[in-house]
Structure 1
């Protein structure tokens, strides 16, 4: 994904091992521009692949990481500690260990919650924010522009608890099902721009995580009270949304823009929930233009 990659671990205050990768192999001695990527709910860094490659080619220093309880990080046995506050503190700990000052943070979907939590907790330790397709309202209330998720999620979780073998099989193997992949592709992406192979890789990565983590984080998004802190966040922010986002309706980006006083809003024509994958060249240039201003 990057020309040079240097994997490492950071151990948080509670002993959780956080996996991260940089494209540089030493603590920074200067005030280099460093970009941190925060992916979404049960997502992975493939959702930022075009951006990571673009900024790596331009010479920007980059840090990607796995949240606690995700993939190569530990914490799967203690999901209660997997909170947005702890995720933000983990990121801050990594940055301080590398002497990174005032990073540029890019978040997508649930990564917007993590990024905003970081800006709230460490207002003087962040340079700028790029927020893509996020929501500061409970996703159960607004996803697909209805409350269908609020109704369906408890039923699905109940089914998974009563039929663990069946649900686990579906969770682990849905990426093999062409119909399941099409439903995900049609619901979350621009079908004219994104191929089935991308969705297959995405869904296979989901199968590496636990269903318990998914339900836990969905509940954490519901409980996240960041909306009450938005007016106190002064970090320069670029808010991006797709005008064809079926998962997070556009008005959520307008709410962010309204309450984040130092923000720009950019709506991508024909963009889905993942506009950075639909139109990578367009988004890369727009993000670059914003970053250069600060």
Structure 2
């Protein structure tokens, strides 16, 4: 019998615990001991990475979504001996345009500090999903169900996003098998950011999901689960880059 491995999940901004990964956690628990860590008490990416290492099992596969993916990169850089493999979902290497920083500052942080974030939630949630599904009330309800962090926790996470620094030049030090999952209609982080990750990570596979925005685990749950289960198989092939997507052969 194979020894069960540890899978640590780092949710994205505002996301609490297992809610947004419920469709993947259930089938993966047959093979992995899964630990979901909401990191929201620290105010820097490096501090959040240290918190992950303090709370996580000794050695683990690390999955990070959005902000959680950025933190996952810091974890892999801080303690490469503990990270067996890396899964980066809808994330970025800290490379933000001024427009994006302004959005995080004025569209997210300012309403939090002013106490008016409730007015902004509908627009923020619609920005997280593919444009064709922005009126999908069932999907939006799933997003809302996973947003239970306190105002202070959200402020901490937003400050980390707003202050993200480009770490792309450091990523070549990460040589564990890495999977990137990205929705082609992601309105928050760009395809060029995925290409930056791909260019710097030496052992990397990319899967682009069509008709999907920033939340693959909810927008395309079956495809996301299939990609994870396939890539996590013990014996994997090397990747070969084809166009904007590296696929296994």
- Structure 2 counterparts to residues 263-278 of structure 1, below 5 A: 263-278=204-219
Q: Provide, for residues 108-128 of structure 1, a one-character-per-residue CA deviation record: whole Å limited to 9, x for no partner.
A: 101111111111011111111
Matched, 1:62 2:3: no
Structure 1 residue 202 displacement after superposition: 3.5
Tell me the residue number matched to 1:92. 53
- Structure 2 counterparts to residues 1-294 of structure 1, below 5 A: 32-44=4-16, 45-56=18-29, 58-69=30-41, 81-95=42-56, 100-139=57-96, 141=97, 147-155=98-106, 160=111, 167-168=114-115, 170-172=116-118, 180=122, 183-190=123-130, 191-192=132-133, 195-200=136-141, 202-203=143-144, 205=147, 208-210=150-152, 212-221=155-164, 223=165, 225-293=166-234
Give the secondary structure class of the aligned counterpart of 2:86: strand
Structure 1 residue 32 displacement after superposition: 2.7
Whole-Å Cα distance in 2 between the matches of residues 234 and 117 of structure 1? 14
Alpha-carbon distance change, 196 to 282 in structure 1, aligned in 2, over 3 angstroms: same
Equivalent residue pairs, number: 230
Assess if the C-alpha contact under 8 Å between 1:193 and 1:279 holds in 2. no
Whole-Å Cα distance in 1 between the matches of residues 134 and 231 of structure 2? 24
Alpha-carbon distance change, 55 to 149 in structure 1, aligned in 2, over 3 angstroms: same
Alpha-carbon distance change, 110 to 152 in structure 1, aligned in 2, over 3 angstroms: closer
- Using the TM superposition, name which of 34-43 and 209-218 deviates more: 209-218
Give the secondary structure class of the aligned counterpart of 2:233: helix
Structure possessing the higher radius of gyration over alpha carbons? 1
Structure 1 residue 63 displacement after superposition: 0.6
5+ residue gaps, structure 2, are 236-249
Whole-Å Cα distance in 1 between the matches of residues 21 and 173 of structure 2? 28
Whole-Å Cα distance in 1 between the matches of residues 133 and 107 of structure 2? 30
Give the secondary structure class of the aligned counterpart of 2:27: helix
Q: Provide, for residues 199-247 of structure 1, a one-character-per-residue CA deviation record: whole Å limited to 9, x for no partner.
A: 34534725633353244222332x3x42121111101000111111111
Q: Provide, for residues 65-121 of structure 1, a one-character-per-residue CA deviation record: whole Å limited to 9, x for no partner.
A: 22142xxxxxxxxxxx432222222222223xxxx4431111110111111111101
Whole-Å Cα distance in 1 between the matches of residues 104 and 133 of structure 2? 29
Q: TM-score, normalised by structure 2?
A: 0.79
Assess if the C-alpha contact under 8 Å between 1:174 and 1:203 holds in 2. no
Over aligned residues, Cα RMSD in angstroms?
Answer: 2.8
Alpha-carbon distance change, 270 to 38 in structure 1, aligned in 2, over 3 angstroms: same
Give the secondary structure class of the aligned counterpart of 1:292: coil
Alpha-carbon distance change, 253 to 157 in structure 1, aligned in 2, over 3 angstroms: closer
Alpha-carbon distance change, 53 to 228 in structure 1, aligned in 2, over 3 angstroms: same
Q: TM-score, normalised by structure 1?
A: 0.68
Tell me the residue number matched to 2:240. none
